[in-house]
Amino acid sequence: MNAPLRRVTIVVIVLFSLLFLNLNWVQFAEHDFYQNNAYNDRVTIAEYSRQRGSIVAGSETLADSVPTEDGDEYKYRRQYPLNEPFAHLTGYQSLVYGDSGLEQTENQILSGEDPRLFVDRLSELFTGTEVAGGNVVLSIEPEIQLAAWEAITGVSEGQVGAAVVLDPRSGRVLAQVSAPSYDPNPLASHDNQESSEAWTAYTSDPSNPMLDRSTRELYPPGSTMKVVVAAAALAAGMTPETEISSGNSYTPPNAGTTITNSENQCPEDELTLQEALTRSCNTSFAKLCVEELGPEPIAEMAEALGFGQQLTTPLGVEASQWGDLSDPAFLAQACIGQHEVKLTVMQDAMLSAAVANGGSLMSPQLIREIQAPNQTTLEFGPEDELSNPFSADVAADLRKMMENVVSASNGTGANARIEGFTVGGKTGTAQHGVDENGNDLPEHGWFTGYAFNGDGEPVVAVSVFLAAAGDGGSGEATRIAGELMRLALE
């Protein structure tokens, strides 16, 4: 072979080698990039050519797919029959804006791409029959979910709030509501203009309807934080009958602000720990933290109860925070649920769930079951213990105290009473800033609690939050919580 021909041969071999390497690089190393690229319309068409699995709760379908009209290049369109009350759970599947909520976290099973559906997909090759995606069955009780939605939105026009209802024994979420909400159906439209107009309306709305206030937003918990303080005090050796300092005012060291109670709520020099919780005495709990407990037991108990952890249900839950406790003035405010203490509504429900379940805190979980397209069970949702924040004896003492909050004539939780059942809880009122004129904004209203059924089992724990509800807000939150617990007991 002469020299020019040899050089041409070498160049051709090198070029083919580079082409081969590039082909393999695209097919393997960059497979995910091209597979998931928004401009890869072929992938999108393929995704919408298969009927997506359903998201269901009880007997209700929360999300399913329906055939589109002739002429639509995408064979199926997602629909959400119960829309707003469930939107923050289901999320949406949109051609323009992608996926969110359970549509996103459970996409593999819903789309049929889950490896456990391989046999179903393989059968298509032999039968020619298209197999739908798998189904996600939630632990949500639709009746409780809808009742929570109607109760919160019925407080006042445009009321902002949230509610979480748990089964303390398993951690299963029975209801998870956030208001205001949005209709995901327009986002799922194959008409890009309709989808775009809905997106613009939702994202420009100052009430932020797409924000899940039950798990993704943090709020000052007010006096529901006293459950954490009471748990720390009991774990340190106190009892419900231990006398603690009280009085109607208290100025912590280094503080520029005096802590007070509502009117003449706690005038005595001393009260039992139980009585202080029953009347929700700010001064008693502030003094208890500053003068007896110190910051470490409060931080340790908060952490054991789930503060500082980003949980998944499988939806994300923001980490609650106890803030800076290093200064006595900060500590005093934190122990009445102010300063830098901030919780999710989910975390507030978890406080009562741990008390009701004897000190065993279960991880909250939305998934009851994952199903194949033929509705056979592939997997049950997990029931995992998150922590043991306190002993069974401490839990029993906390129950005694929280039940007194509801049952006592001077307790703040009377609105949660349910005839014939044992109910415990704690109310909360939280300040959260001032307006442009320096006036206090209306206070948030809270209630966290639990109820036992007739067999003595802790079947429900709840937290209800009403933003800026003002005077009577905590009483209204308590009333709503009582209604939701009653439904769970039926």
Catalytic residues: 223
Tokens 């003492």 belong to which residue? 397
SS3 61: strand
Is the link from the previous residue into 168 a cis peptide, with omega within 30 of 0? no
Segment (H or E) for 38: none
Of the candidates 364, 338, 448, 440, which has an alpha carbon nearest to the alpha carbon of residue 398? 448
CB atoms within 10 A of CB 276: 30
User: CA quadruple 22, 27, 28, 30: dihedral positive or negative?
Assistant: positive
In single-letter form, the type of residue at position 239 comes to T
Distant-in-sequence, close-in-space partners of 355: CB < 8 Å, separation ≥ 6: 227, 231, 395, 398, 399, 402, 424, 450
Token digits for 252? Answer: 């912590």
Please report the DSSP string for 150-216 in residue order. Answer: HHHHTTSTT--EEEEEE-TTT-BEEEEEEES---STGGG-S-HHHHHHHHHHHHH-TT-TTS-TTTS
CA dist 353 and 348 (Å) reads: 9
CA dist 475 and 324 (Å) reads: 30
Tokens 């509800």 belong to which residue? 469
Distant-in-sequence, close-in-space partners of 111: CB < 8 Å, separation ≥ 6: 47, 50, 52, 53, 133
CB atoms within 10 A of CB 319: 16
SS3 275: helix
User: CA quadruple 27, 28, 34, 40: dihedral positive or negative?
Assistant: positive
Token digits for 435? Answer: 């307006």
Is the link from the previous residue into 314 a cis peptide, with omega within 30 of 0? yes
Virtual torsion, Cα 25, 27, 31, 34, nearest 10 deg: 100
CA dist 374 and 370 (Å) reads: 11
Token digits for 183? Answer: 């209709």
Token digits for 424? Answer: 């415990």
